[in-house]
Amino acid sequence: MSRRVGPRRPTQVEIAQRAGVSQATVSLVLSERADTTVSEETRRRVEQAIDDLGYAVNPAARALRGMTVKTIGVYTFESVFPVDQRDFYHPFLLGVEEEAARLGYDLLLFTSANTTRQGVYAKGRNALLKADGCVLLGRHISRDDLARLAREGFPFVFIGRRNIEGVDLSYVAPDYVAPTAGLVEELVALGHRRILLLRQTDGAEPGEDRHSGFLQGARAAGLSEDDLVVEYSSGAQDVDTGRVAGWIRAGITAVLVEPSEDNATGSALADAAEVAGVRIPDDLSVAFLGSAPGPTATRIWTSFELPRVEIGRSAVQMLVRLLDGDADPPLQLLVPCTDIRGNSISRAVRR
Amino acid sequence: MSRRVGPRRPTQVEIAQRAGVSQATVSLVLSERADTTVSEETRRRVEQAIDDLGYAVNPAARALRGMTVKTIGVYTFESVFPVDQRDFYHPFLLGVEEEAARLGYDLLLFTSANTTRQGVYAKGRNALLKADGCVLLGRHISRDDLARLAREGFPFVFIGRRNIEGVDLSYVAPDYVAPTAGLVEELVALGHRRILLLRQTDGAEPGEDRHSGFLQGARAAGLSEDDLVVEYSSGAQDVDTGRVAGWIRAGITAVLVEPSEDNATGSALADAAEVAGVRIPDDLSVAFLGSAPGPTATRIWTSFELPRVEIGRSAVQMLVRLLDGDADPPLQLLVPCTDIRGNSISRAVRR
DNA sequence: GCGATCAACTGATACGTATTGAGCCGGGAG
DNA sequence: CTCCCGGCTCAATACGTATCAGTTGATCGC
């Protein structure tokens, strides 16, 4: 950490001297608080001196006094200016930037932490303190870091749901439960009985939520537990022709797929079905519990869309509420998803 | 500016008490300088205390002492997470982020300044001081702001060339002179004599540089001054069929176009030529002195490409050199462009 | 044996601000 | 006349750190 360069900037003391007042008075003039009493004449003289000397408040000194600096940190493992526009995280950041700008906050990107893959507590010291508070983003943020941050009382909001024992976590996340339940009910209304949920093996909260929605929708639609099948996949290679054929033999007529990070599971399923001679949706209805693989000429996947920009915005709003002391953690918000009506589900065939 | 929330964090004083040493010693242990003398035993005890209490250095206090905080500001009028991936500024930011991360700096985005369109000196106070130094970006940054920043000794690097009387400005910019000169020489080699430079009316440095390159190339190729024509355009509406026809009548066989912000001048020229029955390149060779309109099925414009990512990287490198005191402003760097060989120029016709 | 040198540590200080409690002054009430 | 009060200003202080100028002992050279 080297020494700052350049000439010294004017301070309140110098303003005070030039205006013939005390430093305290200068500070009073600058803090445009309502309950302050400075005569019009004094105020004028101070402001004149400020203009003359080109004074600018020193943010470090302000921060040291315990003031906020109007800076929101953004911590993410992924690159922040992603090369791929279609990057999953990009829309979140869009919302974060938009809302931060609207509320008058600057954005501090912890890019250095990305290279030194050390997590929040790089070098054993918290890197986030340069900001008033922080929006955390990304699958790869360690639960331990989150827990420690929360315990230390650092104000932050996580994007995505996380449940950590004994820790009060603030987060904004998409609601997977309701739309998943809705899809199950819709499938049942279309005559489906044996429905498969294909989960990711990571065991993370999004998977749990989808599972809850699955069960909840089934209950609401009056399905018996026996009709529900849950299987796991750890990636595209797990979904092959044999497996799809097996589903058909087992009488399964509809599959709900939890998307994998790269959406490869979805594509693999489509390919396997084609090879197996299983037509979608005629022989098998398929829907994605989240973002689907991109649409093709003939196929629009039934799925739902996460309101990512909106989530980014909400996270900033929530963080600012925490910073303003208008609320205490945990603040938790689930944002509804938008259904995408595709052509990958249809009325169940009787076999 | 409100008060910071949350519980107080441990300080060096508390570390010192727990380790049975003075605060100064704690600071010495933390500053991993070579010329420091702390016994192994003491260092161990201090580090133990740091771990126990979860100490993290207070960046505000450090900054107040005049230290740098490893933060580079990014100031731009445009949105920083542009919705349009093809945004002109995006690649610069990519380079900035990449290099900042590599050098261990975090990035502070002055997004709040974008909404309050007040320039650098929003509210009469310099908004940039939260960072150690700053990369400035964008056509719309006022010359006065740049001049004032430079005069005040704030470390910054501008992306793009700016010449301001009596001000030492550090910048990184694409070199328009050399490739423009090269294009002129190439055209002359193809038999062209009367060559037109179509400048933007803004009178900014990029236009000056292209003009210089134009003259320089002509001189190198042995063209007489009489063969050179310079015209101006303030936008697409200025380039119509009549104008193009006029060029042909005047014996002009090649046009070098300074691209406008939205590249509309280029498209307008193509359209006007088509309507006028002027074939490119058979009747008229056309090249762009910078980014061309997107390629079409039959047409790849001869032009050259700005190394924008590279420029972003260089700007950060330059700024860090300034911050480290390894150099004094002005530091100025011109980065070479890449020629794009299209099919919009050809051998001159004899008429 | 004595000053000099050195390693290891510490006390004191400054950085620039926001805030607090007190002081001053002039005027109105009692 | 005294007392008090409101309006205005100021001196003093704390925030947490890095660094400088010592201050110890201990060791060394002669």
Per-residue pLDDT tens over the stretch B33-45: 777 788 999 999 9
**Which of B74, B130, B132 has the most A C-beta neighbours within 10 Å, making it the best mutation to test the interface with A?**
B130
B119 or A340, higher pLDDT: A340
Return per-residue pLDDT of chain A as tens, 351 residues: 677 777 788 999 999 999 999 999 999 999 877 777 888 899 999 999 999 999 999 999 999 998 999 999 999 876 666 555 557 788 898 899 999 999 999 999 988 665 555 667 765 567 789 999 999 988 778 888 899 889 888 999 999 999 898 999 999 999 999 999 999 999 999 999 999 999 999 888 999 999 999 999 999 999 988 899 999 988 788 888 989 999 999 999 999 999 987 778 888 888 888 888 888 889 999 999 998 877 777 888 999 999 999 999 999 999 999 999 888 888 999 999 999 988 899 998 765
Q: What is the mean pLDDT of chain B?
A: 88
Q: For chain C, which bases have at least one atom within 7 A of a protein Cβ?
A: 7-12, 14-20
Cβ–Cβ gap A5/B57 under 8 Å: no
Q: How far is A28 from chain B (nearest CA, A)?
A: 13
Listed in sequence order, the residues at least 6 apart from A302 whose beta carbon sits closer than 8 Å to its beta carbon are A183, A285, A286, A287, A288, A292, A340, A341, A342, A343, A344, A345
Strands B133-137 and B285-288: unpaired
Tokens of B181: 């000169």
Cα–Cα distance measured from residue B167 to residue B160, given in angstroms and rounded to the nearest whole number: 15
CA distance B92 to B13: 43
Strands B303-305, B285-288: pairing is unpaired
In percent, the amount of chain B with pLDDT more than 90 equals 56
Euclidean distance between CA atoms B143 and A145, whole angstroms: 45
- Tens of pLDDT, residue by residue over B41-83, are 999 999 999 999 999 999 999 999 989 999 999 998 766 665 5
> What crossing angle do the helices spanning A12-19 and A40-53 adopt, rounded to 10°?
120
- Residue A350: the pLDDT is 65
Contacts of A249 (CB under 8 A, 6+ apart): none
Grade residue B302 by pLDDT with cuts at 50, 70 and 90: very high
pLDDT score, position A270:
85
Between B9, B71, B323, which is nearest A130 by CB?
A: B71
Q: Cβ–Cβ of A94/B116 closer than 8 Å? A: no
Beta partners for residue B305, in sequence order:
B338
A3 is near strand D: CB distance < 7 Å: yes
How confident is the model over B16-37, as pLDDT tens digits?
999 999 999 999 999 877 777 8
Whether B328 has a pLDDT exceeding 70, the answer reads: yes
Determine the pLDDT at residue A294: 74
- In this prediction, residue B116 has a pLDDT band, given cuts at 50, 70 and 90, of low
pLDDT score of A329: 80
H or E segment and range at residue A335? strand A332-335
Alpha carbon distance, N-terminus to C-terminus of chain B: 72
**Structure confidence at residue B84 as a pLDDT band (50, 70, 90):** low
pLDDT computed for residue A81 by the predictor: 62
Token pair in block for residue B92 = 């610069």
Question: In B, which residues are within 8 Å of A90 by CB distance?
Answer: 81
Contact between A217 and A180 under an 8 Å Cβ cutoff? The reply is: yes
> Is A222 exposed, middle or buried, given 0-12, 13-18 or 19+ CB atoms closer than 10 A?
exposed
Distance CA A72, CA B110 (A): 11
Q: Are A66 and B3 inside 8 Å of each other by CB?
A: yes
What pLDDT shows up at residue B1?
63
